[in-house]
Amino acid sequence: MAVRGNHTCADCAPGGMATAASGRAQRPLWASVTRGVVLSVQAAGAHRGLGVQHSKVLSLTLDEWTAVDYRDMLARGNDVVNAELEASLPAHGPGVRKPCMAVAVAGLERHQVPRGEGGEGGDGGGDGG
C-alpha cells in the first residue's frame, strides 16, 4: 500500500465495523478502482451494492487487474479522494464526522434503487404501482 492514506479503509470511521477485536482497523483487502480507494470487506460490500457503473470493486489479492486499474489507483488514493469528497462538508466540528460503516451501509440500502428498476428510461419491471 504505497499510496498515502491507503493503510486503512477510505470509508470507515475509526472504531467502526472494520475494527478488529484488538481495536485497530483491519487491513483493507478490496479496492474501488473507479474511485481510487482501498476498502474494508464491509465497505467493499456497500460499494458492490451501488453497482459496477458507480464503483468497480476488485480484490487486492484475488482479482486480475489491468494496467489502467493500477494507474488509476496510484493516481488517487484514500487521502486525495476523501479530501475531494469532504471539501464540500461544513467545517469539521463536533457535529460533523464520518459515520461508522454500519450506519453508512444502512443509509445506502435505504436510498438504493432496487435492482431491476433500471435507471434512466427503464420500464422498471416493477408492479406498475
Q: How many domains does the chain have?
A: 1
Answer whether 0.85 is exceeded by the pTM: no
Mean pLDDT of 95-109: 60
Please report whether residue 76 resides in a domain: yes
CATH of the domain at 51: 1.10.220.150
Q: 28-77 pLDDT, tens per residue? A: 999 999 999 999 988 898 889 888 888 999 999 999 999 999 998 999 99
**DSSP state letters, 74-128:** HHS-HHHHHHHHHTTSPPPSTT--PPPHHHHHHHHHHHSPPTTS-SSS----S--
Please report whether residue 68 resides in a domain: yes
Mean pLDDT of 102-126: 52
Please report whether residue 122 resides in a domain: no
Q: Are 36 and 76 in contact (CB under 8 A)?
A: yes
- What is d(CA 129, CA 105) in angstroms, rounded to the nearest whole number? 27
Radius of gyration, CA atoms only, the chain: 16
Please report whether residue 124 resides in a domain: no
pLDDT given at position 71 = 92
Please report whether residue 128 resides in a domain: no
Please report whether residue 127 resides in a domain: no
Please report whether residue 31 resides in a domain: yes
Give me the domain span that covers residue 46.
1-88+95-111
Helix axes 101-111 and 41-50, enclosed angle (nearest 10): 10
